[in-house]
Amino acid sequence: MTAKPDSPTPLMPNSSERTHSDSTDSGIAKQIRNFLIALVAIALSIAIFLGVQTETGSASLSAIAEAAMPLEVAQTNNKPTLMEFYANWCTSCQAMAKDMSELEEAYSDRVNFVMLNVDNDKWLPELLKYRVDGIPHFVYLTPTGEAIANAIGEQPRQIMAANLDALAAQSPLPFTFNSGQVSKVDAALASKVTASDDPRSHGSQVQP
């Protein structure tokens, strides 16, 4: 009786090949994990940076407003005035905060710097009087309180400085109206005062 040949034995990878394959898979998994960790870290860094920038802008505006001249003092000290309507949430106001702080430092001996927060109902009559529907809104006032120029939205520092030079010298302002990027003011502010409360507010309702 003829013996049957032995069945072929399946080839199995040796231990060194298995180790190399496992090492390759582990390396790829580690690279993917590191890549995902890096993406998360970048996203968190951007979020933190933007949050800090916003908080810094708001803090700067609050500090400038705290150092500004009270309106009632500015109305009686016989100096010209730059009045700014602003809000802490206003990105355009935040963008100008550094320039405004430096301009105030340079001109405060000759010009009053007054800041009125549009979120404070106390200033609603002024909002209506000067027809504020976007911020920052700047009003240039003579020593007697006469409004002689307006600037609405973000303004180049050079334009602000040129106007302040003329205002301090009581000369005609080179830029009597300027408009730039603004943040809109909530229309709900205007609804709290009717036209009959102040005849000057007729037709000056704050728009959304």
Pair 111, 142: CB distance under 8 Å = no
- pLDDT for position 85: 98
pLDDT of 158-176, one tens digit each? 999 999 999 999 999 999 8
pLDDT of 122-152, one tens digit each? 999 999 999 999 999 999 999 999 999 999 9
**The tokens 């504020």 sit on which residue?**
132
For residue 119, indicate whether it is catalytic: no
Marked catalytic residue, from 93, 97, 124, 189: 93
**Residue 13 pLDDT > 50, yes or no?**
yes
| pTM of the complete model | 0.63
Angstrom distances, CA of residue 109 to CA of 86, 102, 164: 22, 13, 12
Q: Are strands 147-152 and 81-86 parallel, antiparallel or unpaired?
A: unpaired
Percent of the chain's residues with pLDDT above 90: 53
Marked catalytic residue, from 64, 83, 90, 96: 90
- pLDDT for position 183: 79
Domains and CATH numbers, the chain: 60-201 (3.40.30.10)
- pLDDT for position 164: 97
For residue 109, indicate whether it is catalytic: no
Helices 157-168 and 91-107, packing angle to 10 deg: 40
Whole-number Å distance between alpha carbons of 111 and 118: 22
